[in-house]
Structure 1
C-alpha cells in the first residue's frame, strides 16, 4: 500500500510541475512594438523621394547632354561652312587680284600705244586735242612746258609758276637741254628764267628741288666785270647766263604731263 501511495504522489508532483511550467510560459510578456512603427516604414518615402530626384537629375543630364551634342554638331557644321566660305572668298580674292593685275597691264599697254599715236599726230600737226598738256602748253617727253611773254624778276616767276600748278624750268638731261635751248632764241634779247640759282658767289648752283647743277651738261656764262650779284640763271639764244635775280626776265615753267585719253585720238 505504501508503494502505491508513493507512486500516486509522484504522479501528482509531475502534474504540478507541468502545470507550473505551462503557467510561467503563458505569463511571459509579448514583445513590444514601437509606437512609431518599423524602420522600413519610415525610410520608404525618403528612399522614393531620393530615387525620384536621381531620376530627375539623370533625365536633366541626359537632356543637357543631348543639347550639348546638338550644339556641338551645329558648331562643327557652322565651322565647316565658315571654312568653306573663307576658302571660296580667298579664291575669289586671288582671282580678283589676278584680274586687277591683268587689267593694269592692259591699261598700261593701251596708254603706251595711245601716247605713241598721240605724239605722232601732235608732232605732225604741231598740236592735237589728244595732248596731255593744258591748252597752249608745249608737250615734250613726260612734261609740259610754257614759255610766257610776261617779264618778272626771278622770285616773281617762281610764284607765277606755282600759281599755274607748275615749277620753274629745270634742265637736268641732254634731252631736256636739246628741247629748252631752241625755245630761248629771241631777236629782241628776251631771255627766260630757269629754276637754277645759288646762295651767293662761290656757293653751289642748285635747282629748286635741291638737285645739283651738272657742269658737264652745259656751261654757265658769268661776267666777272659786273659787280652785282648774279646768282640766278637765264637761257638766251641757246646759252646759259648768270644774271641778277632782281632783273626782269620772262618766265619758263614746266609741269608733269597728264594721261592721254584714247577717245580723243579720233
Structure 2
C-alpha cells in the first residue's frame, strides 16, 4: 500500500515540473539552446565555399598570368618584327636615294655630253636638229641670239624682241662679250637703261660689268631720253632713243635633247 503512494507522488512531481517549464516558456524566459549539430554543418559549408572560391581565384590568376605572359611574348615578337621592318625600310630608302643620286649624276653627265656634242655638230651645221634655239638664231652657251637687219627705234626694237619672248642684248660676262665681239657689230641697240643725259662713249671691254643693264619698265620713253648702242665692235655710244638702229635679241636656250643629238639624219633624209 505504501509503495503505490510513493509512485503516485513521483509521478505527480514530474508532471508539475513539466508544467513549471511550460509556464516559464509562456512568460518569455529563454528556452534551452538548440542542438549544436546544425550550426556545425553550416560552418563547414561556409568554410568549404570559401575554400572553393580561393581555389577558383588561384586558378583564374594562374590562367591570367599564363595568358599575359603568352601575349607579352607575342607582343615582343611583333615589336622585333616591326623594328626589323623599319630597319629594312630605312636601308631600302637609303639605297633608293643613292640610286636616285647616281641616276641624277648620270643624267647630268649625259646632258653635258649631249650639249657638247650638239655644239660641235652645230658648228659644222648651224641648223642641226639638235640645236636648242629657233631657226636663224645663233647659239652660245645657254643663250640664243638673233640679229635684226631692220633699222628701228630703241622702243620698237625692244617690243620686237618681246614678241620673240626675248630681250635686247645684255652683256654680263666675259664669255658673252667675246662672242658678241666676234660678230663685229656696229649700230646695234643694247639692253641698257635709257639715260636723261647724253654721255661720251665707253669702251665695252672696260665697262660691260658696270653698265646699267635694263631692269625696269621703259614704256614711258620720250624724245629727251638717250639709249646705248654698240659701235665698231667694242664701243658703247648713246644717242636719242628715237633714232634708228639695228637690234640683237637674246633669250634662254632650251635644254639640248639627247635623242636629237644621238639620232643623226642621213643626207638623203632617211633616219
Question: Greater CA deviation, 93-102 or 116-125?
Answer: 93-102
Q: Distance in 2 between matches of 1:153 and 1:35?
A: 137
Q: Distance in 1 between matches of 2:65 and 2:151?
A: 93
Residues 104-147 of structure 1: CA distance to partner in whole angstroms, max 9, x if unpaired? Answer: 22222222222222111111122211112233321112211123
On the 8 A contact 2:171/2:177 being kept in 1, the answer is yes
Q: Distance in 2 between matches of 1:84 and 1:168?
A: 62
Match of 1:235 in 2: 230
Q: Structure 1 residue 137 and structure 2 residue 143: aligned?
A: no
Match of 2:190 in 1: 194
Q: Distance in 2 between matches of 1:73 and 1:202?
A: 91
Q: 1:46 to 1:180 in 2, by over 3 A?
A: same
Match of 1:252 in 2: 248
Aligned pair count? 217
Q: Structure 1 residue 52 and structure 2 residue 59: aligned?
A: no
Q: Distance in 1 between matches of 2:254 and 2:153?
A: 29
Q: Secondary structure at the match of 1:195?
A: coil
Match of 1:206 in 2: 212
Q: Secondary structure at the match of 2:237?
A: strand
Q: Gapped runs of 5+ residues in structure 2?
A: 1-31, 200-209, 217-222, 265-271
Q: Distance in 2 between matches of 1:67 and 1:116?
A: 72
Q: Secondary structure at the match of 1:196?
A: coil
On the 8 A contact 2:184/2:232 being kept in 1, the answer is yes
Q: 1:156 to 1:67 in 2, by over 3 A?
A: farther
* Deviation of the 1:157 alpha carbon: 4.5
Q: Distance in 2 between matches of 1:57 and 1:160?
A: 97
Q: Distance in 2 between matches of 1:64 and 1:199?
A: 93
So what's the TM-score if we normalise by structure 2? 0.65
Residues 82-119 of structure 1: CA distance to partner in whole angstroms, max 9, x if unpaired? Answer: 11112222222222222222222222222222222211
| 1:1-266 matches, cutoff 5 A | 33-34=33-34, 37=37, 39-149=39-149, 153-155=153-155, 157-158=157-158, 160-183=160-183, 185=185, 191-197=187-193, 200-201=196-197, 205-209=211-215, 228-230=224-226, 232-238=227-233, 239-265=235-261, 266=264
Q: Distance in 1 between matches of 2:57 and 2:152?
A: 99
Q: Distance in 2 between matches of 1:151 and 1:49?
A: 119
Match of 2:14 in 1: none
So what's the TM-score if we normalise by structure 1? 0.67
* Deviation of the 1:251 alpha carbon: 4.2
On the 8 A contact 1:154/1:248 being kept in 2, the answer is yes
Q: Distance in 2 between matches of 1:55 and 1:38?
A: 26
